[in-house]
Amino acid sequence: MKSVKAFLMLAIATILTFTVSARELNIVPQPTYINIEETGDYVVTAKTRVILDVAHPNPAYRFVEDLSHIYGVMKVAKRGKGITLSVDNSLHNEGYTITTTAEGIAIVGGSEAGMYYGLQTLRQIIITNEGRVPYGVIRDEPSFDYRGAHLDVSRHFFSVADVKRYIDILAAHKLNRLHWHLTDDQGWRIEIKAYPELIDKGSMRKETLIGHGLEPKWWDGEPYGGYYTQAEIRDIVEYASSRYITIIPEIEMPGHSQAALHALPWLGCQEQDVEVWTMWGVTPEVLCAGKESTYTFLENVLKEVIDLFPSELIHIGGDECPKDRWKECEHCQAMMKAQGLENEEELQGYLVTRIEKFLNGHGRRIIGWDEILEGGVTPTATVMAWRGAKIGAYAAEHGHEVVMVPLPICYFDFYQTESREGEGLHIGGHINFEKVYSWDPFEGISEEARKNIIGVQCNLWSEYLNNLKMVEIQLLPRLGALSEVQWSVDRRNEDTIRQKMESMRKFYDAYGWHYAPYYFEGRK
Ligand code: ACM
Ligand code: ZN
């Protein structure tokens, strides 16, 4: 009899152990180390106190805010028991440990950001596990310093509330950069006080292309626009910063500038009127690189940009700049001659280098799309490798810091299933969760050059995304896969990711974030 009872107890303990372990592992992105003691859970309730580190109060308040839909207003205190927070500078700057015992949960961050990431992990456990946090230890730190997502607000505009919600989603996946694509051919979206025309004229287009075809019926006939005031931008920068996200603003130059050319025609080689573009793709209308007035314009814009954005890196675009206009422009040709430049690619290099010097003089550094390599830019420029991982490898081997965003892996505007069934209209391509998850950002890069790969980012181009719900569906759940590449590249596990994403799905539901169903349905 005794042995039957013992057997039953052992069986129950085994089941419990399995349950506890299984649920405990469901953290995305995967932490470095998890050790669970199978002896019980600390249960977080509405009465649990959050004991802040007085020198670093922000993470505690963010945490309480992020759980308010479950717990109401949790009490934040300066001392006592509950969830305690502190900093230990000996940890990785963005790393943390979580130690859970019957006494409470102690989170130690390598910095305030580390503390915040520890709280993100705790939030996932609480939400997906009914507040039960197993006793044990979690230690964690990120693989990459730069963990980004891009958002194109030119092709379609997203409100301040939308951008904040986007930031919330990034923060929950432990991303720390938002690359904000603020200007392009189809709309200028940032208020620049020196040139009010940029928003008065450049933020509106006549209509929007809603199909892939070119017949007139494919345009919607509706004027479309939007922009952020400088006060709104400051508000968003502050919102992101309190979630440990640096916003990298992008001001496109010298291509992808037709909206600016509409506002200020003297920026072009021919100074003729052009409309804010109503096509998607690459327009020949670009900034004149020969006239001094263009450089003055760019510097005046960037002066306001650096006043608004504390980011050390400022994105200067640089992609897809056709040289047709420059070839026929007396100013551009004169500039090439005066500077001893062999061809128009070198003229672009001259522009980029001049702007780089200007920004360096203001304590900032440039990042640009990988075409900036073609004009002979020096390794002081950070390269965003989009035209393929090989270009990223080339840049890294040549001493540039590189953010990997290669086609097609990082293009989250692409379709998510082969059949495209039920997906609506998108730009093209095909990238599913599995492809993102199994991507090796170091492929083909020497051991020596790997240190130059500072990070990874997904790009959300918005030609066919005209509301935030659509953006979220393109972002999730693929961001779950990308966040493991960014945060835990060497800790990915094909065997457990599906179970973890099922848990993440509960987390997304808790916040009402939209996600694509395909991965969960087994559709590739
Ligand atoms: C890009 O996708 N044109 C950078
Ligand atoms: Zn010109």
Q: DSSP class of residue 219?
A: B
- Which of 183, 320, 373 gets mutated to test ligand 1 (max ligand atoms within 8 A of its CB)? 320
Q: 109-137 pLDDT, tens per residue? A: 999 999 999 999 999 999 999 999 999 99
Ligand nearest to the CA of 344: 2
Query: Is residue 21 over pLDDT 60?
Result: no
Q: What is the pLDDT of residue 398?
A: 97
Query: Is residue 7 over pLDDT 60?
Result: no
Query: Is residue 287 over pLDDT 80?
Result: yes
If we measure between CA atoms, which residue out of 234, 155, 148 comes closest to residue 189? 155
**Cα–Cα distance list, 125 to 10, 16, 293, 458 (Å):** 26, 17, 56, 26
* Average pLDDT score over residue span 211-221: 87
Q: Residues with catalytic annotation?
A: 184, 256, 320
Report the nearest atom of ligand 1 relative to the CA of 459.
2
> Residues with Cβ within 6 A of ligand 1?
319-320, 369, 386
Quote the tokens at residue 189: 């979206």
Query: Could you tell me the domains of the chain?
Result: 20-140 (3.30.379.10), 146-517 (3.20.20.80)
* Average pLDDT score over residue span 59-63: 98
Q: What is the pLDDT of residue 109?
A: 98
* Average pLDDT score over residue span 40-46: 97
- Which of 250, 386, 414 gets mutated to test ligand 1 (max ligand atoms within 8 A of its CB)? 386
pLDDT band at 477 (very low <50, low <70, confident <90, very high): very high
The b/e string for 388-410 (b: 16+ C-beta within 10 A; e otherwise) is ebebbbbbbeeebbbbbbbbebb
Residue ranges with CB less than 5 Å from ion ligand 2 = 269, 288, 290, 329, 331-332
Query: Is residue 469 over pLDDT 90?
Result: yes
Query: Is residue 23 over pLDDT 50?
Result: no
Q: Which helix (H) or strand (E) holds 365?
A: strand 365-369
Q: What is the pLDDT of residue 24?
A: 55
If we measure between CA atoms, which residue out of 187, 178, 107 comes closest to residue 155? 187
Q: What is the pLDDT of residue 58?
A: 98
Question: Which residue matches tokens 């910063």?
Answer: 241
* Average pLDDT score over residue span 228-250: 99
Q: What is the pLDDT of residue 32?
A: 97
Q: Which helix (H) or strand (E) holds 131?
A: none
Which carries the bigger pLDDT value, residue 6 or residue 188?
A: 188
Ligand nearest to the CA of 336: 2
Q: What is the pLDDT of residue 216?
A: 80
* Average pLDDT score over residue span 149-161: 98
